[in-house]
Structure 1
Amino acid sequence: MTLPPGQRAVDGFPRFGTHLHHPPPPVPAEPVITIGGALAKGVTLTTGDLAELPRRELGADFHCVAGWSATGLLWEGVAFEAVYRTHVVPLLAPDTVISHVVFEGLDGYRSVALLEDARAEDVLIADRLDGRPLDGDHGAPLRLVSPSQYGFISTKHLCRMEFHTTAPPDPDRWSPIAAHQRGRVWQEERHRHLPGRVVRPVYRGLIGPIRALSARGSRTRPR
């Protein structure tokens, strides 16, 4: 098995996230994804709307920027590209050129991706993992899955997508741990300003403490 530079395989699929020891947000009775930004009007997608799009299965590893990889995962859902073509493109003015997408989760987490990265063939809006519906620890009811980028791009509990014609404001621009703006795993784009190889030891040292804190908020045992 070949992993991206600096990654190590782990058993199972650890629960990581920004809220650490807090439990995942409740799953809404009727999940939706709101879509806004530089569009002629906003739109709200229901799970029924997503069910009308072709479904896909995707076997892919999950790579955390901290340096661990969960391997052999099977995701199911709909391609982001299909959602974009079907529900976003018709709402664009003829001269509007989208460059960035902001993904937001029910837990308040936000990630930003270049549109060209989000439209890659392997990017899904997933609702199932390894033959089962997503649980709260791994992003229920819906999450982004972008295997070619570090996990911080793959927003869990996805509830909103915003489309922008320029890069949105970046509150973490000068943070000492500012994540890379693209986060491509094979280029080892971990940190905004430092080479990936340099920050590996620091990030790896955080795996144990973060995993322990995250487990406190887990609703399921690590599989």
Structure 2
Amino acid sequence: MGQGGLPPGQRRVEGFPRFGTHLSKPPPAVPVDPVIEVRGAVTGEFDLPLAELSALPRKEIRADFHCVAGWSATDLLWEGVLFETFYRAHLEPVLRPGATITHVGCRGLDGHEGALTIGDILADDVLIAVNLNGRPLDSDHGAPVRLVSPRQYGYFNIKHLSRIELLTAAPPITEGPVIRSHPRGRVWEEERHGLLPGRVVRPFYRSLIRPIRYLSSRGSRPSQ
């Protein structure tokens, strides 16, 4: 275990730093009428208005957030809809007949994307979150909604969730061998890298924390 009962190699930080792609730029603007695009192995592609989430039961989860670089923001209170609830209500009924879903690809308005195994994304603590610590998500932390998967590193917790793709096979690897994300990124197994043991890459990833903080401070803007 890591510091203070955290996963291996993690260190607690004060607050909840901004992270993500294009950190030197402001977060993407929230659309007036946001939707989640549903694509992949479905009978017909469609755009689901986020307003549809309000009809599904809400759940609160108190959990830590673990960045692959080695910092952890602790005791965060997320509120939203369980992804499994969303999946059963809106995705399962439109699956292509005979399709076996192995992964769910998620993409945010900032361009970041990741593909979670169907088992990981249907876990009982994975949310499509709308609130953080009792307030609506702000632009730095994923407004209008984001995926929250506490058992996986932050790169699977897709901010500004805007697209879901149902996949029948693992997506192809597009990253190089030096910085290659682990295909599951489970924090307690320290799956930081797709080829190397987590302990080996800790020092390199930790060296990125300071420049990430600098870029984040340049790219932040007031909460919306």
Name the TM-score, length of structure 1 as normaliser.
0.96
> Post-superposition shift, 1:93?
3.4
The residue number in structure 2 matching 1:206 is 208
Q: Measure how far apart 1:175 and its partner are.
A: 3.6
Establish whether residue 85 from structure 1 lines up as the match of residue 88 from structure 2: yes
Matched, 1:50 2:57: no
Residue number in structure 2 paired with 1:158:
161
Match of 1:73?
76
What secondary structure is seen at the aligned counterpart in 1 of 2:81? strand
Q: Which runs of 5+ in 1 are unaligned?
A: none
Distance in 2 of aligned mates of 1:40 and 1:47 = 20
Aligned pairs for 1:57-68 (under 5 A) are 57-68=60-71
Note the C-alpha offset of 1:142: 0.7
1:104 equivalent in structure 2:
107
Distance 1:93 1:42 in 2: 11
SS of 2:115's equivalent in the other structure is: strand
**Structure 2 residue matching 1:182: 3-state secondary structure:** coil
**Equivalent residue, structure 2, for 1:186:** 188
Check whether the contact 2:177–2:195 (CA below 8 A) recurs between aligned residues: no
Partner in structure 2 of residue 132 of structure 1: 135
Secondary structure at the aligned position of 1:101 is classed as strand
* AA partner of residue 210 (structure 2): G
Counterpart Cα distance in 1 of 2:182 and 2:165 = 20
What's the offset of the Cα at 1:122?
Answer: 0.4
Give the corresponding residue for 1:123.
126
The answer (yes or no) to whether the contact 2:21–2:111 under 8 Å persists in 1 is: no
Equivalences for residues 32-47 of structure 1 within 5 A:
32-47=35-50
Match in the other structure for 2:217: 215
- Deviating more after overlay: 206-215 vs 59-68: 206-215
* Whole-Å separation in 1 of the counterparts to 2:172 and 2:196: 21
CA distance in 1, matches of 2:7, 2:196: 18
Measured after TM superposition, the shift of residue 42 of structure 1 is 1.5
Runs of 4+, deviation exceeding 3 Å: none
Distance between the aligned counterparts of 1:118 and 1:106, measured in 2? 20
Residue 17 of structure 1 deviates from its aligned partner by 1.0
Q: C-alpha separation between the residues in 1 aligned to 2:47 and 2:62?
A: 29
Structure 2: state its 5+ residue gaps. Answer: none
Give the aligned partner of residue 172 of structure 2. 169
Query: For residue 18 of structure 2, what is the aligned residue in structure 1?
Result: 15
Amino acid at match of 1:110: E
Q: Distance in 2 between matches of 1:165 and 1:134?
A: 32
Equivalent-residue separation in structure 2 for 1:10 and 1:220 (angstroms) = 21
Tell me the equivalent position of 2:117: 114
Tell me the C-alpha RMSD between the 2 structures: 1.1
